[in-house]
């Protein structure tokens, strides 16, 4: 039976009262040894009997139509089986949580590198050879526009505004009006996109690398024109997603179509270059940030305008000013967005869409304001924390922003910060920087099933673990609730035949799907309490014994074989009256070489309030991973497009530099403040995955300014801009 939860039924103290002490502990990921010894089978590791291999053919023009494909051009190549060309091929991955097929452009080409056909071979090498040699004729359209700065087609979003802008600005003592530009980025997940498709009678079994199976099943069914019931997706292990695997993509759809046509299983693995070409990128941005303040540093006006880009029929628009709308308050607010339509690889969600790029500019501009006011940047931020959400008027639920700033400043030695350019160690100029962190917390519909028997518990849900710790966290939740050691809980994930979960995205996975696990386990507790004749609040489960107020019994005697409960948590019902967000503060110390402009990050500290911490180790890893990406965003990452064709130039991990081990200091500290968010979900936990990247790059840029007095507004901060 499925039981749906509403927030008013919450028993927020239950997790504290069960007192097993399992939740929150730094439990290792149980699948870790499988992954590092090569025993975990990722999508491409599945090699069913009779497997054929597909390689995606990609457009070599920017805009136009396919006039014809000369299949004879590769007919004599040894090992080539077929050329598959189908109007149902998708142009680019679905944007996530879509439930519908992504854009299927027929014979139209909208960007250089777009997947247009699949060559299938007996071996991967044969397929790849065929894909490279296949002759495609095009009707090229000369009207491609690839530069977002000059694109003739633009759309303005509805502005978000309040207060009297002109009046607020006129009354200001100090103001800042600055423009920042950030380059496009890619997710660069370690595991390339891959799919193995196999039809069992009329049912598609797809082994893929996907983040959100409940949606992905519907998306691929819609792409193929079949019933979602006739699709099973299996994604037990995923080598990173960061948004790039939120929606179904061309590797999965083409593999499914080819497998059906050929009557044998087909595997499609993207090369690294194809991943860069054909997977959603993060848009480049141009951002104008305006602040007006009185002489004491009280903000009178906050403005954040951005210009981003995407392909014409893509609805996704990077929410650049997301955090700018609630971090600080002012009399007047103005947020505007323009989307430029370009013929480039489509833009979509990349870790913390919005905050990741928006906060770099916004929090750097805040540093510029502090400088103009001759005020401490920590004090300036503390002074402007609003009482209510400045746009919606909602109350905030647990919000640790001030405490994170104060605690972090204390731990990091912030009072020792000197004026820009004044601290030097030999050839190196040293500086400290700070930035706030914020990322809204979401709750997404999710279901899970828990089975309890004398042997232990089993958790079953189609939730994914993209490297984030889901296997560990769900074992901890079930263990906590059912009085079991975590070794007695097995967790089954990544199979659409199991109850539909939230999927992994938007930092909502562990809390949303974990809440479903919590509720299913709570239902089991209620049943056991009934059998023992006590109220659920009085029940303790420990060491195989169930104790009520007056009775106790061996758990194995209470269980009639197996107890099975399924529960579902409802979408976003919790945040209507309150605004729930993770908050934090980033601190960075950098050294800038006076001769070469080389920047070395010497230490970083992130202090965060994320509600209840579900697993201290996986949460810390998420925070550190985000902070590392902040280093990459500030200093290295730059997805360069050819100005003639829009084709991605930096399309491998040699040319697109993500922060490497040598770029990251050993001293990366993370601290989580003790917090419970009663408005978030029944576990009082919030998302953490994207909070670490939100603002961290700004702390580095601000530290660079403090070190050498140079303000970098055109990212990344490469050495040529610093000397």
Q: Order the strands of the 552-554 sheet from edge to edge.
A: 540-542, 545-547, 552-554
* Nearest CA-CA partner of 112 in 80, 133, 77, 136: 136
**Residue 198's beta-bridge partner residues?**
205
Quick check: 349 binds ligand MOS (CB under 6 A)?
Answer: yes
Looking at 242, 414, 587, 629, which residue binds ligand MOS (CB under 6 A)? 242
Give least dist CB 626 to ligand MOS, A.
11
* Nearest CA-CA partner of 359 in 147, 664, 582, 578: 582
Quick check: 239 binds ligand MOS (CB under 6 A)?
Answer: no
Nearer Cβ to ligand MOS, position 409 or 466? 466
Nearer Cβ to ligand MOS, position 102 or 353? 353
User: How far is 499 from 411, CA to CA, in rounded Å?
Assistant: 44
* Nearest CA-CA partner of 396 in 426, 435, 347, 440: 440
Nearer Cβ to ligand MOS, position 196 or 466? 466
Stretch of 20-28, 118-126, 235-243, 552-560 contacting ligand MOS, by CB under 6 A: 235-243
Give least dist CB 245 to ligand MOS, A.
8
Nearer Cβ to ligand MOS, position 29 or 351? 351
User: How far is 220 from 227, CA to CA, in rounded Å?
Assistant: 10
* Nearest CA-CA partner of 330 in 157, 167, 441: 167
* Nearest CA-CA partner of 160 in 403, 322, 348, 388: 322
Question: Is 690 one of the catalytic residues?
Answer: yes
Stretch of 348-356, 364-372, 440-448, 669-677 contacting ligand MOS, by CB under 6 A: 348-356
Looking at 64, 241, 358, 692, which residue binds ligand MOS (CB under 6 A)? 241
Give least dist CB 322 to ligand MOS, A.
13
Q: Order the strands of the 599-609 sheet from edge to edge.
A: 424-425, 428-440, 581-593, 599-609, 668-672
CA distances from 351 to 620, 633, 650, 660, 692 (A): 16, 12, 19, 18, 10
Looking at 59, 188, 246, 541, which residue binds ligand MOS (CB under 6 A)? 246
Nearer Cβ to ligand MOS, position 63 or 351? 351
| Number of residues lying near ligand MOS (CB under 6 A) | 11
Looking at 64, 121, 239, 353, which residue binds ligand MOS (CB under 6 A)? 353
Residues in region 517-556 near ligand MOS by CB under 6 A: none
Quick check: 483 binds ligand MOS (CB under 6 A)?
Answer: no
Stretch of 286-294, 350-358, 601-609, 667-675 contacting ligand MOS, by CB under 6 A: 350-358
Nearer Cβ to ligand MOS, position 486 or 502? 502
Quick check: 115 binds ligand MOS (CB under 6 A)?
Answer: no
Tokens for 161?
A: 């505004």
Give least dist CB 349 to ligand MOS, A.
4
Three-class SS of 421-464:
CCCEECCEEEEEEEEEEEEECCCCCEEEEEEEECCEEEEECCCC
Give least dist CB 617 to ligand MOS, A.
20
Nearer Cβ to ligand MOS, position 130 or 506? 506
Quick check: 439 binds ligand MOS (CB under 6 A)?
Answer: no
Nearer Cβ to ligand MOS, position 348 or 499? 348
Give least dist CB 652 to ligand MOS, A.
21
Give least dist CB 132 to ligand MOS, A.
32
Nearer Cβ to ligand MOS, position 211 or 633? 211
Q: Cβ distance 308 to 272 under 8 Å?
A: no
Residues in region 494-513 near ligand MOS by CB under 6 A: 505-506
Nearer Cβ to ligand MOS, position 349 or 669? 349
* Sign of the torsion angle spanned by Cα atoms 455, 461, 463, 464: positive
Q: Cβ distance 176 to 290 under 8 Å?
A: yes
Query: At 434, phi and psi to the nearest 5?
Result: -135, 155
Cα 364 from chain centroid (whole Å): 23
User: How far is 600 from 425, CA to CA, in rounded Å?
Assistant: 13
Stretch of 38-46, 78-86, 241-249, 579-587 contacting ligand MOS, by CB under 6 A: 241-249
Residue nearest to ligand MOS as judged by C-beta position: 243
- Host H or E run for residue 300: strand 299-310
Q: Is 132 left (phi over 0), alpha (psi -120 to 50) or beta?
A: alpha
Quick check: 688 binds ligand MOS (CB under 6 A)?
Answer: no
Strands 545-547 and 540-542: antiparallel
Give least dist CB 666 to ligand MOS, A.
28
Candidates 145, 314, 566, 690; catalytic one = 690
Stretch of 70-78, 347-355, 446-454, 597-605 contacting ligand MOS, by CB under 6 A: 347-355
User: How far is 617 from 146, CA to CA, in rounded Å?
Assistant: 43
H runs (alpha helix) in 535-592: 555-558
Quick check: 463 binds ligand MOS (CB under 6 A)?
Answer: no
Q: Cβ distance 306 to 287 under 8 Å?
A: yes
User: How far is 582 from 580, CA to CA, in rounded Å?
Assistant: 7
Looking at 351, 399, 523, 578, which residue binds ligand MOS (CB under 6 A)? 351
Give least dist CB 348 to ligand MOS, A.
8
Tell me if the bond preceding 35 is cis, omega within 30° of 0: no
Looking at 350, 599, 601, 619, which residue binds ligand MOS (CB under 6 A)? 350
Nearer Cβ to ligand MOS, position 431 or 514? 514
Residues in region 40-99 near ligand MOS by CB under 6 A: none
Give least dist CB 634 to ligand MOS, A.
19
Q: Cβ distance 244 to 270 under 8 Å?
A: no
Give least dist CB 306 to ligand MOS, A.
18
Q: Which residues bind ligand MOS (CB under 6 A)?
A: 211, 241-243, 246, 349-351, 353, 505-506
Residues with a known catalytic role? 690
């Amino acid at each position: 039976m499925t039981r749906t939860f509403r927030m008013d039924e919450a028993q927020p103290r239950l997790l504290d009262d069960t007192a097993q002490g399992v939740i929150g502990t730094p439990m290792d990921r149980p699948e870790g040894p499988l992954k590092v010894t090569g025993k975990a089978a990722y999508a491409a590791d599945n090699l069913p009997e009779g497997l054929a291999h597909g390689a995606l053919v990609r457009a070599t023009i920017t805009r136009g139509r396919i006039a014809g494909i000369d299949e004879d051009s590769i007919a004599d190549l040894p090992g080539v089986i077929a050329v598959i060309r189908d109007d149902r091929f998708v142009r680019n991955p679905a944007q996530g949580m879509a439930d519908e097929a992504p854009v299927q452009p027929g014979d139209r080409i909208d960007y250089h590198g777009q997947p247009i056909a699949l060559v299938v071979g007996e071996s991967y090498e044969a397929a790849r050879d065929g894909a490279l040699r296949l002759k495609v004729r095009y009707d090229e359209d000369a009207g491609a526009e690839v530069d977002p700065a000059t694109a003739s087609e633009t759309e303005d979003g509805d502005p978000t505004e309040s207060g009297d802008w002109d009046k607020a600005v006129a009354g200001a003592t100090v103001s800042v009006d600055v423009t920042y530009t950030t380059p496009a980025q890619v997710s660069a997940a370690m595991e390339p996109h891959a799919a193995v498709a196999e039809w069992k009678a009329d049912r598609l079994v797809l082994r893929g690398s996907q983040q959100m199976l409940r949606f992905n099943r519907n998306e691929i069914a819609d792409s193929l024109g079949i019933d979602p019931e006739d699709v099973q997706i299996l994604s037990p292990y995923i080598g990173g997603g960061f948004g790039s695997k939120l929606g179904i993509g061309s590797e999965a759809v083409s593999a499914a179509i080819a497998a059906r046509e050929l009557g044998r299983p087909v595997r499609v693995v993207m090369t690294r270059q194809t991943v860069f070409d054909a997977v959603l990128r993060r848009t480049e941005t141009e951002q104008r940030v305006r602040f007006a303040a009185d002489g004491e540093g009280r903000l009178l006006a906050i403005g954040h305008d951005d210009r981003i880009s995407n392909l014409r029929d893509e609805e996704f628009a990077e929410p650049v000013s997301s955090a700018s709308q609630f971090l600080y308050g002012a009399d007047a607010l103005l947020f505007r967005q323009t989307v430029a339509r370009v013929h480039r690889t489509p833009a979509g969600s990349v870790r913390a869409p919005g905050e990741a790029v928006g906060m770099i500019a916004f929090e750097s501009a805040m540093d510029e304001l502090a400088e103009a006011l001759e005020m401490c940047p920590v004090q300036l931020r503390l002074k402007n924390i609003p009482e209510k959400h400045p746009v919606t008027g909602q109350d905030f639920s647990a919000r640790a922003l001030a405490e994170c700033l104060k605690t972090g400043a204390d731990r990091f030695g912030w009072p020792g910060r000197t004026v820009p350019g004044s601290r030097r160690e030999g050839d190196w100029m040293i500086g400290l920087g700070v930035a706030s962190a914020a990322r809204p917390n979401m709750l997404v519909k999710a279901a899970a099933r828990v089975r309890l028997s004398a042997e232990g518990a089993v958790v079953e849900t189609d939730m994914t673990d993209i490297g984030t710790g889901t296997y560990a966290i769900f074992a901890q939740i079930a263990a906590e609730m059912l009085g079991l050691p975590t070794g007695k809980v097995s967790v089954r994930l990544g199979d659409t035949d199991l109850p539909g979960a939230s999927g992994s995205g938007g930092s909502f996975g562990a809390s949303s799907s974990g809440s479903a696990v919590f509720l299913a386990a709570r239902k089991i507790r209620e049943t056991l309490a009934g059998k023992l004749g006590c109220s659920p609040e009085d029940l303790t489960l420990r060491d195989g014994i169930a104790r009520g107020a007056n009775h106790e019994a061996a758990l194995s005697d209470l269980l009639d074989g197996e107890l099975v409960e399924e529960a579902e948590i409802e979408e976003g019902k919790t945040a209507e009256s309150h605004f729930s967000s993770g908050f934090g503060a980033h601190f960075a110390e950098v050294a800038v070489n006076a001769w070469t402009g080389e920047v070395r990050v010497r230490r970083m500290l992130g202090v965060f309030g994320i509600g209840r911490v579900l697993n201290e180790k996986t949460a810390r890893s998420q925070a550190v991973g985000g902070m590392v990406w902040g280093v990459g965003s500030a200093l290295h990452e730059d997805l360069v497009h050819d100005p003639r064709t829009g084709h991605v130039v930096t399309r491998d991990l040699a040319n697109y530099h993500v922060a490497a081990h040598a770029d990251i200091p050993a001293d990366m500290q993370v601290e989580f403040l003790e917090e419970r968010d009663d408005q978030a979900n029944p576990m009082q936990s919030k998302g953490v995955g994207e909070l670490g990247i939100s603002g961290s790059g700004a702390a580095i840029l601000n530290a660079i300014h403090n070190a050498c007095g140079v303000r970098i507004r055109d990212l990344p901060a490469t050495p040529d801009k610093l000397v």
